[in-house]
Amino acid sequence: NRAAQFEAAADPVRQLELAKAIVAAKGANQRTMLRRNALPRPERALDDMARYLGHVDAAAGVDQLLGIEGSLAAAYFGNLQAMVKAEPFSSLWAFEHRNRRPPRDPINAMLSFAYALLTKDCVCALLGEGLEPWWGVYHQPRHGRPGLALDLMEEFRPILADSAVLSAINTGMVLPRDFTCAAAGCTMQDRARKALIQAYEARLDQLVTHPLFDYRCSWRSVVRIQARLLTRWFRQETPAYVGFTTR
């Protein structure tokens, strides 16, 4: 499996093909999150995102795709605040944009932590398929960065990690006092970390119908299924990798 993975990663045509599938699935799931959960409904952003998604197939290279992905992210994160229902968060710590290293507000701190949890699960799923998590296709290999895990997790960022963060906030599992914010950045206290892990694990245990196979399984299983589909695409047993998207 790893030989097939390395071969695909070295082929510019296949690299672009997989990158398009990754960006399309992630962008579609970001748009679905906004359409379902944002109040008031951000019609302008939803229209913009639909237009950006329409450009994915025609992208001539990975650099162009990165630009489309960035435009999708800007529209999505620019309206993330509209999905926050908990009054202490919306009034005290408004979310303006995604930032990290270090995160500068509680929501960004939670997003970074949730993405770390998701990365770990994607690494495990890929190892289970005999793949090399550190050798990416869309995310180019870089020392210490699990590139293929980042490739796999992109489609799940909005629907698993972001969803868990919003759930933890909107149900009162985390409160403003669970964070320490200073000029150097914002850190989560133990209570916030435990609550977010609980929300994330609960999300993984929820059942969903897989659109390709039309059977119900947990989100935890979906991550493993997508790793298996990626393996089949590497081995050229399937004509295309299809990212997981929700309606």
Strand partners, 208: 217
Query: For residue 220, which of 136, 124, 149, 147 has the smallest C-alpha distance?
Result: 124
- At 136 the pLDDT is 96
Query: Is it the case that residue 51 has pLDDT exceeding 90?
Result: yes
Q: What is the mean pLDDT of the chain?
A: 93
Q: How many residues does the chain have?
A: 247
pLDDT of residue 96: 73
Residue 173, classed as helix, strand or coil, is coil
Rounded distance, CA 245 to CA 247, Å?
A: 7
Q: What is the phi/psi pair of residue 59, to 5°?
A: -60, 130
The predicted pLDDT at position 62 comes to 93
Mean pLDDT, residues 215-224 taken together: 95
Distance CA 243, CA 236 (A): 16
Torsion angle (degrees, nearest 10) of CA 221, 29, 188, 96:
180
What single letter denotes the amino acid at residue 5? Answer: Q
How many angstroms separate the CA atoms of 26 and 63, rounded? 17
Does residue 88 surpass a pLDDT of 70?
no
Could you tell me the two tokens for 193? 């970390």
Higher confidence at residue 224 or residue 210? Answer: 224
Could you tell me which residue, 155 or 105, shows the higher pLDDT?
Answer: 155
